[in-house]
Amino acid sequence: MASIKDVAAEAGLSVATVSRVLNGHPSVSADARTRVLAAVEALGYRPNAVARSLRTDTTRTLGLVISDVLNPYFTELARSVEEEARALGYSVIIGNADERPDLQDHHVTTLLDRRIDGLLVSPTDGGSPRMLEAARAGTPMVFVDRWIPGVDVPVVRSDGREAVRDLVAHLYGLGHRRLAIIAGPAATTTGRERVDAFREALAAYGLDLPGAYIGQGDFQAGSGRRVTEGFLDLPEPPEVVFAADNLMALGALDAVRARGLRVPEDIALAAFDDVRWFVHTDPPVTAIAQPTGELGRAAVRALVDRIEGRPGESVTLPARLVVRRSCGERGPTRPPSPSPTRSPSPAQSPSPVRRSTS
Amino acid sequence: MASIKDVAAEAGLSVATVSRVLNGHPSVSADARTRVLAAVEALGYRPNAVARSLRTDTTRTLGLVISDVLNPYFTELARSVEEEARALGYSVIIGNADERPDLQDHHVTTLLDRRIDGLLVSPTDGGSPRMLEAARAGTPMVFVDRWIPGVDVPVVRSDGREAVRDLVAHLYGLGHRRLAIIAGPAATTTGRERVDAFREALAAYGLDLPGAYIGQGDFQAGSGRRVTEGFLDLPEPPEVVFAADNLMALGALDAVRARGLRVPEDIALAAFDDVRWFVHTDPPVTAIAQPTGELGRAAVRALVDRIEGRPGESVTLPARLVVRRSCGERGPTRPPSPSPTRSPSPAQSPSPVRRSTS
DNA sequence: ATCCTCCGTGTAATCGATTCCACGAGGAGG
DNA sequence: CCTCCTCGTGGAATCGATTACACGGAGGAT
C-alpha cells in the first residue's frame, strides 16, 4: 500500500508538504496542493490511520461496551450511538459482553489497548477492576443505561419510575392485586431500580411485594422462562408478571405457552423495554418504552464533550408506558389516572426532558 | 500511560529485552524475565496496540460490514462472528450499512484505513468501487450471506432452494394457489435468489408467479408494509405472501393488522429467516431458518485461513423450513411430501453440510 | 540599495513498539 | 591456553505519519 513517502516522491515534494496538504494546513502554495492531490489520486493513496494515531495520540474512535447484542434494546442503542458518533467525526468499536463480567473486562481491556479516545459502557456488574482503573486514570468515560454508584462518571439513562407508577395504576385499574416481577441481576442498577420502582408504586396502592413474587433473572430469555415457571408453581400464583426487560418477557411467554395457558386470561404480562415485535405478539405486550435513540445520542455527545475538554453532563430522560392488551381488557388507551387507596402521586403526564448535572 | 521505555527503566533493562519477554521470545534469562514481569505489574503496563500494529503491519482485527444491525438475523451473525474471531485471537470491528451503499462504502473505507487484517462483507449492492478495489488489491476478504458475482472471493452462505421447495409444497398442500412474494433489492444476491427459488418451486407445481405478485422491497419493515398493502389492493389479492426476510414479514403483519384482516384466515404469511419472536407472534410465523451461527463461524474460519496464507474455502449450508400456523391449519408438523402436478422433486430431508470450494 | 518579514518548503525528531545485528561473557573442545 | 559457539543483552533502524525548527527567496519599508 502506498505511503506518504510514495506520494511525496510522485509529487516531487517532501512528506511534510504532503502532510500539510492532507491536513488542510494554510501555508501551502496552490501549485504544491494540486501536485499533491494529483499524486494522491494517481496512487490511490489513503493515510494510514494506525501511524497517524501513534503520532497524534488520538484515534477518533469511541468504544462501546454493551451488555448483550442479541437484545434489541442494545442493538437500537448501538445504532444511534454509531450514528451520532459518525456525525461528530468518530468511529465506534462495539464490544458485546453477553451479560458476562469476564467478557466485559476482556473488551474494556482490548479497547483500552487500542487507545480509543473514550469509552461508553453499560456495565454488566458492579464494576470490573479494569474499568474502575480506567475511570480513575482519567480515560474519558460515560455510563449509559446502567451505571456504577460512587464512580465519578456522567450517566445517561432513562428514569422509569413514573412509567412504572402508570403501569401499576393501569394494572390496579384492571383489578389485579397479586403482582410479581422478574428482576434483573442485583449487581446492575437497572436490575435493582426497576424492582424498587415497582415496590414503591405497589405501596402507593397499599399492595405488598412478597419475596416469593420477586424472581431473580439475568436479563436473558431463559431466566424469564424459569422464573415464570416458578411463579406458576406457587400455591397462589401472581395475576401479573412484570419482566424487567424484553428478553425475559419473551421467556415468560415461552413458559406460559408451554403450560397451555393464555395471556392475559390466565396471567397478565408487562415488560420493561418496548420492541417492535411486541405489537404483533399474541397478545400485544404492554411495555415501558425508553427513548433509546435519544439516549444513545446524548451519551455520545456527553462523551465527546469530555474528550474534547468540555464538562460532559449527565442526562436522565423519562420512559413512558405503552398500553396494549397483555394485561387484560380495555384496549390501547392512555394510562388511567390513579384512584388509589392512599397514594398522593398526581397523574403526571410524561414530563419533558429533564437534565441533571452529575 | 506507561510505555515500554518506562518498563525498561523500572526493570533496569533495555526495551529490546522487555519486548522479548512480552512476546515470549526464548533467549531471555529467568532473572530478566522476572524483573520485567515485576516492572509490568508495578506500572500496570499494557502494550500499545497502535504502535505494535504500525511496526508489525498486522492488527489482529477483522472488519465486518453488515447490511442492517436492527435485523436480528445480522445481529446473530455478528455475535457468532465475534465469538469465533475471539477464539482465534482476533477482534472484530462492525460496520452497519443500514442497507445503504454509501454507508457501506464509508465503513469499508474506514476499516481499510485502520489496516484491518481481513474483511467480512455482506454486500448491500452490486459492489462498491472501494470494495472491489480492496478485493483486487489482495485484501483478504470473504462474502457472507450475500455476495457479488464475478469477484474472486470465497462465499459463505446458506442455500434456501430446498427449503423454499418444502415451503411451496406445504402451501400447495394447504390449498393455496395464488402465491406472492415480497422480494429484496435486485442488486443483492439474496434479493434475486429467493425470488428465483420461489418461482422455480411454483413452476414445479404448475403455478405461475405473475409480475403483480412480485413486490419490490428493500429488506426493511416499511417496504414490507407498503408492498403488502399493494397486494391487498389488487383485484385478485394473493392467498399467501412470502416475505424474503423477517423485517419485511413484520411490515406485512403491520399492513394486515391495519386493515383489520387476519392471518392466516384472510391471507397467509411466510418468511425467509427465522427469529425467536416468530414463535410468539399472532399467529406464529412459518419461516425458513438459516444456520446463522454456523455461517458466522465458517466465514471467520475462511477469512482467517486467507489471512494466514491458507486457501480459505467457500461454504454453503442448507436452510430448513419451520412450519408454524401462519399459512393455515394443520399445526406444527413436518413439511408434507409433495403430490405435485408434474414435479420430479423428491421429498428430500434437510441434507447434511455441503461444502463447495470456490 | 539594505534590511526585515513573511511565506513556502524541507530536514529531522518523535510517537511505542519489534527485530536485525553486534558484542561480551562463559563454556566446550582441541 | 586458544578458538569458536552459544546465549543473553543492548543499540539502533524501522514502520508512517505529524510538526517544531531552520532556511532561502521574494517583496515591502526605509
Mind listing the pLDDT tens digit for each residue in B87-145?
999 999 999 999 899 999 999 999 999 999 999 999 988 778 888 888 888 899 999 99
State yes or no: pLDDT of A351 exceeds 70. Answer: no
| Residue A262: closest C-alpha in chain B | B280
B104 touches chain A (CB under 8 A): no
Which residue in A has a C-alpha nearest to residue B89's C-alpha?
A110
Q: Chain A: nearest CA to B358, how far in angstroms?
A: 27
What's the rounded Cα separation, in Å, for the pair A304 and A318? 23
CB-based burial of residue A15 (10 Å sphere; 0-12 exposed, 13-18 middle, 19+ buried)?
Answer: middle
Going by C-alpha positions, the residue among A225, A222, A282 that lies closest to residue A255 is A225
pLDDT of residue B5 exceeding 60: yes
Q: Say if B96 is an interface residue toward chain A (CB within 8 Å).
A: yes
Average confidence (pLDDT) over B70-78: 96
CATH class of A4-47: mainly alpha
Cβ–Cβ gap A59/B79 under 8 Å: no
B59, B250, B276 ranked by CB distance to A250: nearest: B276
Domain ranges across chain A: 4-47, 56-157+294-317, 159-291+319-355
Q: In angstroms, how far is C4 C1' from A27 CA?
A: 20
The percent of residues in chain A predicted with pLDDT above 90, rounded, is 84
The structural architecture, per CATH, of the domain A159-291+319-355 is 3-Layer(aba) Sandwich (3.40)
Q: Which residue of B has its CA nearest to A3?
A: B113
Residues 23-42 of chain A whose Cβ lies under 8 A from any Cβ of chain B? none
Residue A170 has pLDDT above 90, yes or no: yes
Q: Tell me whether residues A109 and B50 touch, CB distance under 8 A.
A: no
Give the pLDDT mean for B298-310.
Answer: 96
Mean pLDDT taken over chain A: 91
A89-111 mean pLDDT = 95
pLDDT at B350 over 60: no
A1-6: average pLDDT: 95
B65 touches chain A (CB under 8 A): no
Above pLDDT 70, what percent of chain B?
Answer: 92
Long-range contacts of B278-281 (CB under 8 A, 24+ apart): B278/B246, B278/B324, B279/A254, B279/A257, B279/B324, B280/A250, B280/A253, B280/A254, B280/A257, B280/A277, B280/A281, B280/A282, B281/A277, B281/A280, B281/A281, B281/A282, B281/B253, B281/B326
User: What cell was used for A95?
Assistant: 464490544
CA distance linking residue B252 with residue B228, whole number of Å? 6
Residue A47, chain B, CB below 8 Å: the answer is yes
Domain A56-157+294-317 annotated CATH 2.40.30.200: no
Measured from the Cβ of residue B15, the count of other Cβ atoms closer than 10 Å reads 14
CA distance, residue A280 to nearest chain B CA (Å) = 5
Which chain A residue lies closest to B96 (C-alpha atoms)? A79
Q: Report whether pLDDT(B329) > 80.
A: no
Q: Is the CB of A52 under 7 A from strand D?
A: yes
| pLDDT attached to residue B41 | 97
CA A203 to chain centre: 28
pLDDT at residue A310 in the model: 92
Q: Which of residues 278-297 of A touch B (CB under 8 A)?
A: 279-284
Give the Cα separation of B190 and B213 in Å (integer). Answer: 18
Per-residue pLDDT at A330: 59
Chain A residues inside the 8 Å CB shell of B277: 250, 277, 280-281
Residue A235 grid coordinates: 400455591
Q: Which three cell numbers stand for residue B242?
A: 412470502
Percent of chain B with pLDDT over 90: 84
Please give the pLDDT value at position B353: 36
pLDDT at residue A233, as a whole number: 97
What is the tens place of the pLDDT at every residue in A57-69? Answer: 999 999 999 999 9
Q: Name the CATH superfamily, with its identifier, for domain B56-157+294-316.
A: Response regulator (3.40.50.2300)
pLDDT tens-digit map of A247-267:
999 999 999 999 999 999 999
Amino acid (one-letter) located at A34 = T
Quickly state the pLDDT bin for A230 (edges 50, 70, 90). very high
pLDDT at position B340 over 70: no
pLDDT at site A355: 38
Give phi and psi for B276, each to the nearest 5.
Answer: -55, -40
Work out if A19's Cβ lies within 7 angstroms of strand D.
yes
Q: B2, B9, B134, B115: which is closest to B62 by C-alpha?
A: B115
Asked if A56-157+294-317 and A159-291+319-355 have one fold, the answer is: yes
Q: What is the pLDDT of residues B183-223, one digit of tens each?
A: 999 999 999 999 999 999 999 999 999 999 999 999 999 99
- pLDDT at residue A130 above 80? yes
Inter-chain residue contact A250 with B277, CB threshold 8 Å: yes
Question: Mind listing the pLDDT tens digit for each residue in B214-254?
Answer: 999 999 999 999 999 999 999 999 999 999 999 999 999 99
Report the residue from B91, B110, B250 with minimal CB separation from A110: B91
For the CA of B7 and the C1' of D8, the distance in angstroms is 18
At residue A286 the predicted structure's pLDDT band, cuts being 50, 70 and 90, is: very high
Q: Region A88-106: what's the mean pLDDT? A: 95
Q: Are A292 and A73 spatial neighbours (Cβ–Cβ below 8 Å)?
A: yes
Per-residue DSSP letter, B281:
B
Strand C nucleotides, any atom under 7 Å to a protein CB: 7-12, 14-20
Q: Is the pLDDT of residue A15 over 50?
A: yes
Tell how many helices (H) and how many strands (E) occur in chain A: 12, 13
Strand order, beta sheet including B155-159: B91-96, B61-66, B118-121, B141-144, B155-159, B315-318, B354-355
Report the distance from CA of residue A32 to the C1' of nucleotide C9 in Å, as an integer: 10
Cβ-Cβ contacts under 8 Å, A63 against chain B: none
Return mean pLDDT, chain B. 91
Of A79, A91, A115, the CB nearest to B69: A79
Find which of A1, A22, A43, A50 to mutate to test the B interface (most B CBs within 10 Å of its CB).
A50
Q: Which among B114, B133, B276 has CB closest to A50?
A: B114
Which of the nucleotides in strand D have any atom less than 7 Å away from a protein CB atom? Answer: 7-12, 14-20
The per-residue pLDDT for B137 is 87
Beta bridge partners of A318: A159
Query: In this complex, which of B49, B72, B78 lies closest to A114 when CB atoms are compared?
Result: B49
- Shortest Cα distance, chain A CAs vs residue B159, angstroms: 24
* Residue for grid cell 403491520: B254
pLDDT tens track for A192-213: 999 999 999 999 999 999 999 9
The residue of chain A with its CA nearest to that of B114 is A49
User: For chain B, where are the alpha helices, taking DSSP H only?
Assistant: 4-11, 15-22, 30-43, 49-56, 72-87, 101-113, 129-136, 161-173, 189-204, 221-233, 246-258, 292-307
Please tell me whether any atom of strand D lies within 7 Å of the Cβ of A22. Answer: yes
User: For residue A206, what is its C-alpha cell?
Assistant: 397499599
The arithmetic mean of pLDDT across residues A36-58, rounded, is 97
Q: Which distant-in-sequence residues (6+ apart) come within 8 Å of B39 by Cβ?
A: B7, B8, B10, B11, B18, B45
Q: How far is A143 from chain B (nearest CA, A)?
A: 21
Report whether pLDDT(A334) > 50. Answer: no
pLDDT per residue as tens digits for the range A211-226: 999 999 999 999 999 9
Q: What is the mean pLDDT of residues B51-67?
A: 97
Task: Look at A54 and B51 and tell me if their CB atoms are within 8 Å.
Answer: yes
* Predicted local confidence at residue A76, as pLDDT: 96
Give contacts of B282 with chain A, Cβ < 8 Å.
Answer: 280-284
Q: Is residue B87 within 8 angstroms of chain A, CB to CB?
A: no
Average pLDDT over residues B304-308: 96
Nearest residue of A to residue B76, measured between CA atoms: A70
Whether B313 shows a pLDDT value over 80: the answer reads yes
Q: What is the DSSP letter of A353?
A: P
Cβ < 7 Å from strand C, A residues 47-106: 54-55, 57
| Chain A / chain B CB contacts < 8 angstroms | 102
Q: In B, residues 195-214, which contact A (CB 8 Å cutoff)? A: none
Is any atom of strand D within 7 angstroms of residue A70's beta carbon? no
Q: Give tens-digit pLDDT for B148-183.
A: 998 999 999 999 999 999 999 999 999 999 999 999
